[in-house]
Amino acid sequence: MPRFADITDTLARQAIELPSWAFGNSGTRFKVFSTPGTPRTPEEKIADAAKVHELTGLAPTVALHIPWDTVDDYAALGRRARELGVELGTVNSNTFQDEDYKFGSLTHSDARIRRKAIDAHFRCLDIMHATGSTDLKIWLADGTNYPGQDSLRARQDRLAESLATIYERLADHQRLVLEYKFFEPAFYHTDVPDWGTSLAQVSALGDRALVCLDTGHHAPGTNVEFIVMQLLRLGRLGSFDFNSRFYADDDLIVGAADPFQLFRILHEVVAGGGLAEASPVRFMLDQCHNVEDKIPGQIRSVLNVQEMTARALLVDHAALAKAQASHDVLAANEVLMDAFQTDVRGDLAAWRDSRGLPADPMRAYAESGHQRRIAEERIGGTQAGWGA
Ligand code: LRH
Ligand code: MN
Ligand code: MN
Q: How confident is the model at residue 379 (pLDDT cuts 50, 70, 90)?
A: confident
Question: What whole-number distance in Å separates Cα of residue 24 and Cα of residue 275?
Answer: 30
Which of 10-14, 286-290, 374-378, 382-386 has the lowest average pLDDT?
382-386
Q: Which atom of ligand 1 is nearest to the CA of 249?
A: 7
Give the distance (Å) from ligand 3 centre to CA of residue 324.
36
Give the distance (Å) from ligand 2 centre to CA of residue 23.
15
The reported pLDDT for the residue numbered 387 is: 42
Q: Which atom of ligand 1 is nearest to the CA of 212?
A: 9
Q: How confident is the model at residue 146 (pLDDT cuts 50, 70, 90)?
A: very high
Question: What mean pLDDT, rounded, does the chain reach?
Answer: 97
Mutational pocket test of ligand 1: of 135, 286, 287, the residue with most ligand atoms within 8 Å of the beta carbon: 286
Please state the rounded mean pLDDT for residues 184-205. Answer: 98
The reported pLDDT for the residue numbered 333 is: 98
- ipTM comes to 0.99
The reported pLDDT for the residue numbered 383 is: 66
The reported pLDDT for the residue numbered 321 is: 98
Which residue from 388, 382, 303 is spatially nearest to 23, judged by alpha carbons? 382
366 pLDDT above the threshold of 60:
yes
Please state the rounded mean pLDDT for residues 199-217. Answer: 98
Whether residue 117 contacts residue 105, with contact meaning beta carbons closer than 8 Å, is answered with yes
The reported pLDDT for the residue numbered 385 is: 64
Q: How far is CA 99 from CA 45, 105, 142, 212, 350, in A?
A: 27, 10, 13, 26, 53
Per-residue pLDDT of 347-362, as tens digits, reads: 999 999 999 999 999 9
Q: Which ligand is nearest to the CA of 213?
A: 2
**Which ranges of the chain would DSSP assign to H, the alpha helix?**
4-13, 42-56, 74-84, 111-131, 152-168, 195-203, 224-233, 259-271, 294-313, 317-325, 329-340, 345-354, 361-368, 370-377
Residue type (1 letter), 117: A
Question: How large a percentage of the chain has pLDDT more than 70?
Answer: 98
Q: Which atom of ligand 1 is nearest to the CA of 92?
A: 10
Please state the rounded mean pLDDT for residues 92-115. Answer: 98
Using a CB cutoff of 5 Å, list residues around ligand 3, an ion.
Answer: 249
The reported pLDDT for the residue numbered 374 is: 97
Please report how many Cα atoms fall inside a 13 Å half-sphere around the Cα of residue 371, on the Cβ side: 17
Residue owning the nearest CA to atom 1 of ligand 1:
139
388 pLDDT above the threshold of 60:
no
Residue owning the nearest CA to atom 3 of ligand 1:
139
Which helix (H) or strand (E) is 27 found in, with range?
Answer: none
310 pLDDT above the threshold of 60:
yes
The reported pLDDT for the residue numbered 380 is: 72
Q: Which ligand is nearest to the CA of 138?
A: 1
The reported pLDDT for the residue numbered 304 is: 98
Task: Find out whether the peptide bond into 185 is cis, omega within 30 degrees of 0.
Answer: yes
Question: What whole-number distance in Å separates Cα of residue 379 and Cα of residue 363?
Answer: 25
Q: Are strands 61-66 and 16-19 parallel, antiparallel or unpaired?
A: parallel
User: 10-34: b or e for each residue (b if 16 or more CB lie within 10 Å)?
Assistant: bbeebebbbbbbbbbbbbeeeebee
> Which residues, 6 or more positions from 269, have their beta carbon under 8 angstroms from its beta carbon?
228, 232, 275, 281, 312
Question: How large a percentage of the chain has pLDDT more than 90?
Answer: 97
Please state the rounded mean pLDDT for residues 317-324. Answer: 98
Please state the rounded mean pLDDT for residues 74-102. Answer: 98
Q: Which atom of ligand 1 is nearest to the CA of 216?
A: 8
CA dihedral angle for residue 243, residue 245, residue 248, residue 251, rounded to 10 degrees: -30
Whether residue 176 contacts residue 138, with contact meaning beta carbons closer than 8 Å, is answered with yes
Q: What pTM was estimated for this model as a whole? A: 0.97
Give the distance (Å) from ligand 3 centre to CA of residue 216.
6
Q: Which ligand is nearest to the CA of 214?
A: 2
Per-residue pLDDT of 246-298, as tens digits, reads: 999 999 999 999 999 999 999 999 999 999 999 999 999 999 999 999 999 99
Question: What whole-number distance in Å separates Cα of residue 107 and Cα of residue 95?
Answer: 11
Q: How far is CA 52 from CA 24, 91, 286, in A?
A: 15, 20, 15
Q: Which atom of ligand 1 is nearest to the CA of 385?
A: 6
Question: What whole-number distance in Å separates Cα of residue 147 and Cα of residue 171?
Answer: 39
In the structure, which protein residues have their CB atom closer than 6 angstroms to any atom of ligand 1?
Answer: 21, 92, 139, 179, 181, 214, 241, 249, 286
Residue type (1 letter), 337: M
